Amino acid sequence: MLNHIIICGLGNVGFRTFELLTQAKQEMVVISDILHEELRWQVEEVSGVFILGDARNEYLLLQAGIKDAKAILIVTDDDMVNATIAMSARHFNPKIKIEVISKMPQ
């Protein structure tokens, strides 16, 4: 896959983002350490790729195609996790666009 988007986290924000990008006909890979079977099924149904695991794992980022991705959206609720993923993403792909959303405003 080339010029795809990686989404790290499949909570409320991650899934809503996935839905919006699906409407925009974007190719995506989703990495989530929490398995929501219903959400996973929906990701895989629309030709998205779902990887179960912690996106801090560099092997999983490589499996998701980080070197060829155009952007990574990091949407976990843990700032340290987000920072770690962002640094790894930049290491593997210096030109990648990085967006981090840690918590939705109340």
pLDDT digits (tens, 9 = 90+) for 39-60: 888 888 886 799 999 999 999 9
Is residue 104 very low, low, confident or very high in pLDDT (cuts 50, 70, 90)? low
Cβ atoms < 10 Å from Cβ of 95: 7
The fold of 5-100 is: Rossmann fold (3.40.50)
Question: What's the half-sphere exposure (Cβ side, CA atoms, 13 Å) at 79?
Answer: 2
Where in the chain are the domains?
Answer: 5-100
Tell me the β-bridge partners of 52: 32
What are the pLDDT digits (tens) for 71-100?
999 999 899 999 999 999 999 999 999 999
| Mean pLDDT value across the chain | 91
**pTM for this structure?**
0.91
Backbone angles phi, psi at 70, to 5 degrees: -90, -25
Place of tokens 């930049």: 90
The first and second tokens of residue 7, run together, are 């989404």
- Cα of 81 vs its chain's centroid, Å: 13
The reported pLDDT for the residue numbered 29 is: 95
Task: Name the DSSP class of 11.
Answer: S
